[in-house]
A and B are shown apart, each in its own frame.
Chain A
Amino acid sequence: MSKKPSNANQSERRRFLKTSAMAAGGAFYGGLVGTSTAAQEHARKMLDMQHGNQLPAPLGDPAAGRPVGVQAEYDGYSRFKPTRGDDPDSDFYLGKLMPGFRSADAGNAPFYAPDLDKLPWKMVGGVKEFHLVPMAVEREVLPGYKLNVYGYNDSMPGPTIEVTQGDRIRIIVTNELPEETSVHWHGFELPVQYDGASELTQNLIKPGKSFVYEFDVHENGTFFYHSHIPMQEAFGSVGFMIVHPKKVYAPPVDRDLGLIFQNFYVEPSQSIADSWRMDWNWQTINGRSGPYTTPLVVKHGERVRIRIMNFSPMQHHPVHIHGHTFWITGHEGARIPKSAWVPRNTELIGIAQATDFEFIANNPGDWMFHCHMVHHMMNHMTRQVGPRVRPDQTVEAYLADLDRSPGVNLKNSDPGFKTPGYPQEMKGMVMQPEFMKAIWNRREVQGMRATWPMSVMGLMTVLRVLPDDLYRIVMESDDRVEKGAVFAEIVRRFGSPADYEAAMKMHGMS
C-alpha cells in the first residue's frame, strides 16, 4: 500500500475506515467532505474491514496438543518456535538433522507437486511402464487466463514421473504434436541411445509415431524430462521426474514438495505464448501464476523438503522463503553430503537447475515464497500512466463511448505528482468476482487474509505453516472458514493480538 503522498492521508484513511466500520449499514461515503482526494480514492476501493480491528472468533482447539512421543527440542533448536540452536557445529543447528514426525520405516514421504498429476504406470515384465504423450495443451494459468503451450498428457508442465532408485523403467512416448519431438531424461546416466538428444542419439519422433525409452535407474534425486527441441522447451515441454532413494534419506521428511518455475511471453488479448521473445511477462509455478498458485500447506513442526526446478528459458530465479532458514540439501545432480549443506534464506536457481530445500516448519503463519526479481513478482507489467493514475478518470468512461474521448485534465491534480517518480506502486491486476471465486475456492487458502491475492503475483506462492488443529480444519474438513480467521488465530496464539489489524475487504469481493 502506498505511503505517499503523506502519512496524514494514511491515518485519515484509517480513521475513516474505522468510523465507517462502526457505522455498520450506514452510508460509507458519509463524512467524506473535507477528506483529501487520496483518502477518498482509497475509500472508494476499500469498503470496510471485516471485523473492524477486532479478532475474529477463535477457531480450532489450541489445547488439542502436539503429537506424542515427539521430541520438541534438539540442542537448543525447537521445532515449534523460531530458533537457531546452540552450536553451529551441532547436527541440529537450524534443524539441520532434526527428524520430522515421520519414521524412516514408513518409507519415503509421498511426493506432491501442487496442481500437477502423476503419470500412472503398470508393471510389465518387471519393468515400470509409462505412457507419455507430448501434445499441445491449454493451461489455465490464472482464472480466465488460458495459455496455449506444449506439454504432456494434457498438462503443462507434464505429469510427474515418480520412480524408485533401482527401477527399470520403460517410457513409451507417442508424439501427438504436429511436429517432431524427442524426450531427454535430464540428468540420468542412461545408455546413450535413450538420451533423447535429437539426431545425435536418435531420430526424431514423427507426429503420430512412438518411441520407446527403456533403462535402469540407478541414481536418486530431483530430475526432469523435457523435449530436446529448444522452442518446444521454451513453449513448456517439461515435467518432473522424481527418483526416491532406495534407502530413505536421513532424517526423513514429512513433506516432499515440488515446484517447477517457468515463464512465457504472452501478448495482451492473446493466449499463445511467444517462445521467440527475449523478455517474459508471464510467470508460472507448476503451470499457474500467483495468486492462483496453490499454497504449500504444512503442519507446525514438520520437516519439509521443497524441490524447485527452474525451467524458464532465459531467466534465473533467486528464490526466497520468508520466516524460515532452510538447508540446501541437493541439486539436480545428486544429494549433497551433509557436510556440504548450506543454510540460506534465498537460493539462486539457474536455468535447468533444481535445488532441494529442507527445513523444520517451526514458525506458524502464511509465508511469502517467491522469486526475488521484482519483475518476476508480477505478470505483464505495465507503465503507471493514463486514466488509472488520474483522479476522477476511469477506463469505463472511455469504453462507454468509443467514438468520443472523455478528455483529460491538462494537469494531474494528484498532489503525489509533485514527487518525482510517483507512483512507484505497481498496482495489481483487476480481479473480477469470478476470478476471486476461483482463487478462494480451494481448501489450501481457507482462512487467509482477505487481501492476500493482492500480494501474491507472478512467480510467487505461499508457505502455510499451521498448527495441527488448524491444518485439519483447512485441509481435512469441509468447514467454511472465514477469511482471515486462520491468520488471526495464529496471531492470537503466536503473535501480538493487541496489534492485530484486519485485512480490508476489497470492493466487490466478499
Chain B
Amino acid sequence: MAPPRIPATPNEIAFSEAFASQGPVANYGLEELLALAAKNNPTLRQAEAHISAELGKALQAGLYPNPVLSYEAEQIGVDGPNGTSTPGEFQGGVIEQRFVTGGKLRLSREKYLRRARVSENLAMAQQFRVCNDVRIHFYKTLAAGEILSIRREMAKTAEDSAVTAQESYNMGQSNRPQVRRANVALQRARLDVLAVENAYNEAFRTLSTLVGIPLCVGTVEGVLETRCPVISFEEAYGRLLAESPELAAARAKLSVDQVTVARENVQWVPDLVVRGGAGYNFEAEQTTAVAGVVLEVPLYDRNQGTVRQAQADYARQRQEIERVELELRNRLAMIYQQYLTGMQHAREYEQVILPELKAAYRELLESYKERRVDWPDVLMAQHDYFDARLTQVDNLLHARTQEVLVYGYLLHDGLMAAPGISPQGHIESVPKPR
C-alpha cells in the first residue's frame, strides 16, 4: 500500500502575495528612508507650523497699539450768539494714542518668543518620534525579511521530514498516521511561510506610511545587531535628564510661565491714553482744541487674580518638570528592562546557544555521514537550530527596538499629530495675545 501523498504547496488557496518574487525590487537603506521621512512626514511640518504660530504671536504681542482717530461733535443744538441752535460747541477731529507702560509689550513678546522655544523643543521631540519610528520599523522590516528566509529553510526541513516519512514508510519503519502527521507538519510550516510573507508586507507598508510617501514594495538592507555600547540604567536616565526634548520643552515652558508672571505683574500698571484734537466751537465761533488724558485707577483690580493664576501656572509647571522626569524614569524602567533582556538574550544566543545548536547539528550530520545516527535525529537538530535562529531574530529586533528608544529619548509614534505647546486657559482667551 502506498503511503499518503505529500500535499501540494498551498499557494493557490492562500492568495499568496508572493513577496518580492517578480521583477527587480527596490532596495532601501536606513539613511535613505530617514532622509525621505524628514522630507515627507507631515507631522514634522506640523511641528514647524507650531513654531511659526508662536513666533507670529510674539510678533503680534509686541505690536504697539494704533492711534485712534475720531471725529467728535459735542453739545449739538446749543444756542449760538444769534440765539439760534448751533451744530455744537465742538465739531472736530480728535486723535487718541495709548501709551503702553510697564514694558507690557516687551514682556508679551518675550513670552511668545519663549513659547516658540518650547515649540522648537517639541519639534525636536517630533523629529525623534518620526526618526525612531522609522528606525524601529526599518528593523522590523529587516527582521521580517530574515524571519522569512529562516521560515523558508524550516519549510524545507518540514519537506525533508515528509520525504523521510515516505522513505520510512517504504522501509516499514513508519505507518500511515505518522506519514499523515508529517504531511500536516509540512503544511503548517508552509502556512508559517505565508504568514511571515504577509507580516513582511505589513512591516514594509507601515514603514512606507512613516516615511510619508508610498514606496514600492522592496527589501531593506541593514544590520539587525545592535551597534551601541550597552549603557546602565542610571546612564540612560542621566542622558534623558540632560537631553530629552520633552524635558527641555517642559523646562522652556517654565521660563514661559516665569515671564507670564512678570507680564501679569505689570498688567495693572495703567496705560496712559492721551487724546487731543482741533475743531470749531460753533457757540463761540472760534477754533478750539481738545485734549485729555485717561488713566485707569487701579483701585480694585490690580490684576491680582490673573497674577495669582500665572503664579499658580508657574508653580504647576515646576511640578510638571518633576512629573516629566518621573514619567521618563517610569517609561525608561520598562523599556530598559526589555532592552537589557533583549541584549542579554541576543548576546547569549550569539555566544552560546546558536553555536551549540549549530555544533550539535553539525555533529549529528557527521554522525549520519558515518552512518551512526538516523536521519530524523539530524532533521530534529536542524529544526532546533533554525528555530533558535528565529528566536535570535526576535531577540535582536527586541534589543534593537529598545536600543533605539533608549538612545532616542523614549520617543516614538511618528504618525501622532505633532503637539503644540499646551494651552494656558484664561490668559489665552484675551483677544490680543499677552
Pair B378/A407 contact, Cβ less than 8 Å: no
Known A-B contacts A268-B372, A408-B159, A412-B163; the reply to A383 vs B153 at CB < 8 A is no
Whether, in the assembled complex, B289 has its beta carbon less than 8 Å from a beta carbon of chain A, the answer is: no
Interface mask (A384-405 → B, CB under 8 Å = 1, otherwise 0): 1111111000011011001111
The CA-CA distance from A407 to B153 in the complex, in Å, is: 8
Interface string of B353-364 (1 = CB under 8 A from A): 000001001111
Q: Is the CB of A382 within 8 A of B6?
A: no
| B interface, over-half SS | helix
When distances are taken between beta carbons in the complex, the residues of chain B under 8 Å from A403 are 153, 389
Compute how far the CA of A187 lies from the CA of B385 in the bound complex, rounded to whole angstroms: 54
In the assembly, what is the distance between CA of A390 and CA of B167, in Å?
10
Residue A430 CB within 8 A of the other chain: yes
- Verify if A65 is at the interface (C-beta below 8 Å from B): no
What 0/1 readout, one digit per residue, does chain A (476-498) give for beta carbons within 8 Å of chain B?
A: 00000000000000000000000
Tell me whether A420 and B385 are in contact (CB under 8 A): no
**Chain A: interface secondary structure?**
loop
* Cβ of A410 under 8 Å from chain B: yes
In the complex, which of the residues A384, A395, A407, A422 contacts B159, with contact meaning CB atoms closer than 8 Å?
Answer: A407
A269–B367 Cα distance when bound, in Å, is 7
| B46: Cβ under 8 A from any A Cβ | no
* CB <8 Å contact, A410 and B163: yes
Q: Nearest Cβ distance between residue B421 and chain A, in whole angstroms?
A: 53
Docked-complex contact A386 and B371, CB < 8 angstroms: no
0/1 per residue, B153-168, Cβ < 8 Å to A? 1001101101110111
Fill in one digit per residue for B113-127: 1 if any A CB lies within 8 Å of its CB, else 0: 000000000000000
Mask, B133-163, CB within 8 Å of A = 1, is: 0000000000000000000010011011011
B375 contacts A386, C-beta separation under 8 Å = yes
Whether the Cβ atoms of B366 and A410 lie closer than 8 Å is: no
B368 at the interface (CB under 8 A from A): yes
Is A417 interfacial (CB-CB < 8 Å)? yes
Question: Nearest-CB distance from A307 to chain B (Å)?
Answer: 32
Are A399 and B366 in contact (CB-based, < 8 A)? yes
CB of B153 within 8 A of CB of A405, answer yes
| Interface flag for B369 (CB, 8 Å) | yes
Asked if A429 is at the interface of the complex by the 8 Å CB criterion, the answer is: yes
CA–CA, A422 and B389, complex, Å: 36
- B373 engages A268 (CB within 8 Å): yes
Q: From A395, which residue of chain B is reached at the shortest CB distance?
A: B369
B166 contact set on A, CB distance < 8 A: 412
- B426 vs chain A, min Cβ distance (A): 66
Given contacts A268-B363, A408-B156, A410-B163, 15 further A-B contacts (CB under 8 A): A269-B364, A384-B171, A388-B371, A399-B365, A402-B358, A402-B361, A403-B389, A405-B157, A405-B382, A409-B163, A410-B6, A417-B170, A428-B371, A429-B370, A430-B370
- Contact surface of A with B, Cβ cutoff 8 Å: 268-269, 380, 382-390, 395-396, 398-399, 402-405, 407-412, 417, 420-423, 427-430
List, sorted by A's number, 13 A–B pairs whose CB atoms are closer than 8 Å.
A268-B373, A269-B363, A380-B371, A383-B375, A386-B379, A399-B369, A405-B157, A405-B160, A411-B6, A412-B167, A421-B170, A421-B172, A430-B369
